[in-house]
């Protein structure tokens, strides 16, 4: 835990300590991440990534972070950032879990990454 820093996401550490499995992780604690699945589909997922809040301690923090996505069905995925329509690439689920993707976000920026299973 990173006690003493106001903006540190302590609830995430508490959940981890209590055994809650996380479907994602980042080496940048200032990134807020949420993973959504298209209803009744195992083929399409959406990963919302944002740097939404500014705290006193955040002002000089890094704007880049590696986002790892765990527990996806084993497959190859086409990754597209939907706001910019940028093609991130094609990655296997094990690479997304082990190495992840780099995301660079300025304060109050968001990205929505679509992960679409390809055959």
pTM score over 0.85: no
CA gap 85, 83 in Å, rounded: 6
Place of tokens 């084993």: 74
Domain boundaries, the chain: 22-118
CA gap 45, 37 in Å, rounded: 4
What fold is seen in the domain 22-118? Immunoglobulin-like (2.60.40)
Cβ neighbours of 60 (radius 10 Å) = 5
**Rounded percentage of the chain residues whose pLDDT exceeds 70:** 84
Q: 3-class DSSP state for residue 10?
A: helix
pLDDT at 115: 97
Residues 44-97 have pLDDT tens digits of: 999 999 987 766 666 666 678 899 999 999 999 999 999 999 999 999 999 999
């Amino acid at each position: 835990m990173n006690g003493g820093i106001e903006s540190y996401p302590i609830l995430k550490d508490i959940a981890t300590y209590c055994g809650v499995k996380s479907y994602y992780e980042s080496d940048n604690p200032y990134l807020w991440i949420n993973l959504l699945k298209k209803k009744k589909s195992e083929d399409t997922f959406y990963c919302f990534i944002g740097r939404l809040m500014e705290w006193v301690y955040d002002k000089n923090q890094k704007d880049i972070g590696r986002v790892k996505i765990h527990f996806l069905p084993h497959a190859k995925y086409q990754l597209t950032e939907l706001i910019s329509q940028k093609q991130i690439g094609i990655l296997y689920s094990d690479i997304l879990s082990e190495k992840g993707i780099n995301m660079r976000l300025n304060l109050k920026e968001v990205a929505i990454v679509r992960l679409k299973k390809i055959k």
